[in-house]
Structure 1
Amino acid sequence: MQLRDDFATHLNELHNPIDRPYTASIDKSLLESTEDIEHLNKEIHDVNPDYLTFLPAYFWMFYFAMGWVYFSSFWLGNYFLQDIGEVVFVDGEFGIFDIVYSFLWIVVFGTPLILFLYQLIRKYFIRTQYYFLKKEQKIAYYYRPLMKFRQPYELKIVDYKDIYPDLHQDPYNRAYTPLNLYVADPETGDITHHLKLEDYRVNPRVQWAFIRTYMESPADELPVDAKFCEAYPADTSKSLFACADIIYRKSGILPSNHSGGDQIMVFIIGSIIALGNLFQANHYQCTKRAILHPDVQKLLTWDGQDNPYPIQPITDEAELAFEGSNWEVNVRWVCIILINVGLFVWAVVAYNA
């Protein structure tokens, strides 16, 4: 999704274009970057002879949402417990000014919490996945302008060979350079499609070499390691908790089989940032997937057998977790939420003591 208007609208405006598909040999030395390749392996959502896709990239959004909810909830609780309580129950007075003032406080500090809870229930997606269709040599994805909320997402299918990759340095944060893929009108050079992969945690040249290797090379040349590359049915999961576990598993904090190991580490870490992880897990669940669209389904030819790419299968415990029936996962997250609520209540009470 385009967040700013400083991206290229014409080929002449590309910041730092790199090799286009099939125009030069792939620099395989980039695929020796252990840290970046491990990261990409952990981000793979699907990889098979038909299509490759990654989990939607998140950067600061869920941390911001977590902090917003925490601080707004804290001040909202403080206001009701102290200020409103003092006016109503101590002084016994509640004038028109107090009513207006209270309404403004609720709007300013209560809206983030209300929106957060609404999102968890509504499951409204704000991210989309890009599907690299190997046999068809196409890329499928959904698009909708950021500010046009009422406009439905539109399915886009572009030819892989028409891609212009570009390294767009963020003018607001020079430390990050995400990979951007463009498609331009062959006659005018005007940009017609803009694909933002938005993964700030990996070298964009390595990411592009990884994608090119998948699309242009035999399966055995793609550096996929089954130790890191797992099957994540996040978008079809009935369990928000199982999706939240993905975050920990990608960090190596939890085992990949959802067996309930390393519980204490999850309690310590999860209790502090549980809201942010649940917010991110919510978007994993409801991400817009082009693969579910019939126009993309008919492009697929893989029969689901004999995947040449090594990837960890879903264990019985994981399958139960994604169905919402793994009691170890459910109890863990219920405890985390209760600890989280307890910490919040303690902070409000301590502040008003």
Structure 2
Amino acid sequence: MIEDKHSNFAKHINELQEVLESPYSSEINKTLLDSDEDVEHLNKEITNINPDYMSFFPSYFWYWYFGIGWIYFSSVMFFSIFIGDIFYREPMKGLLQIFNIASMIFIFIVFCTPLILLIYQLILKHPYRTQYYFLKKEQKVVYYFRPALQFFKPFELKIVDYKDLIPEIHTIKNNTAYTPLNLYVADPSTGDITHHIKPHDVSVDPRVHWAFIRTYMESDAKDLPIDPQFCDTYPADTSKSLFACSDIVFRKYGILNTQHSGAGGIVMLIISSIYALGYLLQGNNYQCTKQAILHPDISKLLTWDGKDNPYPIQPITEEAKKAFEGKNWQVNTRWIVVILINISLFTWAVMAYNG
């Protein structure tokens, strides 16, 4: 059997659902960029934008992981203390005791494995998301690719011509709210899809998302609605501080300022103490994302010298630099307190449950 030369996403072009206009094929519908809410969202999602490249934060459905983490963590605490309490009050001997010990070990493995895996990920920081970079001068899109669920296969660098993109809105049956933008590249001789780029930001109208990307790639800087009030720059490599990366979500929603100076700390303490695990996982997503922009072959394509950025993006402050290097103790102390409060909440819940 001849091995398919195309990727795992290969399908005939006719099977795409709602195909949007291709790059340079028509005038950009600038009225889409009048959508204040969607444009504001995209401004908050930008990690960097300059004459060479634009990139958004990789999407991450953190609440799903948070829910799983919370359930498993609390369950193992409840079951361990509950069963241990039975052993303490009614000591058992012989085979029954052996059976109960074996049951405890089994329950511990079942309930603790997800938590152990989460802690393992937070410590070792294996990349499980990729970031897409739209290179304006080179008119290319670059990213790392690894087939789904093939965790031990190395990431491959992909460089795709922007003009070859085929944008499509993919809907899921009975779920009209989930409409991500998909970008494909097809083999011109067969029509089969050879590349599939998935920004996967379901919080914004995919038509607005595509108009935003097209405006950056095809128009002058003045045509792109960038608001420096929302659009902040971040270091290309943010891997040194999980806490600073976890702060990003608060800054997007205006709970914290962009200087990492400690302002807004009380509100952040209250909110993140309840959802600490979810926000740490989201920070881990930003922290360990596979970034093609750091690859030597991509660095060779960049020509901007870092001066005179025509896009009004807020530069990173000295406090923020220290935060991303793990040296800003206002940020570090705040998150340590958040984690301690979170542990206290869990302890209180366990004690209340078993009281």
TM-score, normalised via structure 1 length? 0.94
| Deviation string, structure 1 residues 5-38 (Cα, Å, up to 9, x no partner) | 9977111011000100000000010111111111
1:99 Cα shift? 3.0
Counterpart residue number, 2:305: 303
Provide the rounded CA distance (Å) in 2 between the counterparts of 1:322 and 1:279: 16
Counterpart residue number, 1:261: 263
Q: Superposition RMSD on alpha carbons, in Å?
A: 1.7
Of 121, 141, 144, the residue aligned with 1:142 is 144
Counterpart residue number, 2:4: none
1:315 Cα shift? 1.1
| Deviation string, structure 1 residues 96-120 (Cα, Å, up to 9, x no partner) | 3223312221122111110110010
Provide the rounded CA distance (Å) in 2 between the counterparts of 1:157 and 1:170: 28
Counterpart residue number, 1:318: 320
Provide the rounded CA distance (Å) in 2 between the counterparts of 1:154 and 1:8: 17
Provide the rounded CA distance (Å) in 2 between the counterparts of 1:64 and 1:203: 22
Contact 1:231 1:312 (C-alpha < 8 Å) held by counterparts: yes
Q: 2:94 aligned with 1:74, yes or no?
A: no
Q: 2:215 aligned with 1:232, yes or no?
A: no
Q: 2:210 aligned with 1:208, yes or no?
A: yes
Contact 1:234 1:322 (C-alpha < 8 Å) held by counterparts: no
Aligned pairs, how many? 347
Provide the rounded CA distance (Å) in 1 between the counterparts of 2:216 and 2:74: 48
Counterpart residue number, 1:183: 185
Provide the rounded CA distance (Å) in 2 between the counterparts of 1:296 and 1:6: 25
Q: 2:329 aligned with 1:327, yes or no?
A: yes
Provide the rounded CA distance (Å) in 1 between the counterparts of 2:22 and 2:195: 15
Identity of aligned residues (%): 59
Provide the rounded CA distance (Å) in 2 between the counterparts of 1:180 and 1:314: 31
Of 115, 118, 131, the residue aligned with 2:117 is 115
Provide the rounded CA distance (Å) in 1 between the counterparts of 2:89 and 2:121: 34
Of 226, 242, 245, the residue aligned with 2:244 is 242
Q: 2:41 aligned with 1:39, yes or no?
A: yes
Query: Unaligned 5+ residue runs, structure 1?
Result: none
Counterpart residue number, 1:102: 104
Counterpart residue number, 1:343: 345
Q: Match of 1:71, as an amino acid?
A: I
Provide the rounded CA distance (Å) in 1 between the counterparts of 2:238 and 2:71: 32
Provide the rounded CA distance (Å) in 2 between the counterparts of 1:98 and 1:239: 42
Counterpart residue number, 1:15: 17
1:88 Cα shift? 5.6
Q: Match of 2:76, as an amino acid?
A: L
Contact 1:234 1:284 (C-alpha < 8 Å) held by counterparts: no
Q: Match of 1:42, as an amino acid?
A: K
Counterpart residue number, 1:153: 155
Q: 2:220 aligned with 1:218, yes or no?
A: yes
Provide the rounded CA distance (Å) in 1 between the counterparts of 2:99 and 2:14: 58
Contact 1:240 1:285 (C-alpha < 8 Å) held by counterparts: yes
SS at match of 2:147: coil
Q: Match of 1:295, as an amino acid?
A: D
1:86 Cα shift? 2.4
Provide the rounded CA distance (Å) in 1 between the counterparts of 2:29 and 2:38: 15
Contact 2:9 2:195 (C-alpha < 8 Å) held by counterparts: no
| Deviation string, structure 1 residues 219-246 (Cα, Å, up to 9, x no partner) | 1111111111001227334111111111
Q: Match of 2:80, as an amino acid?
A: F
Q: Match of 1:351, as an amino acid?
A: Y
Provide the rounded CA distance (Å) in 2 between the counterparts of 1:126 and 1:55: 13
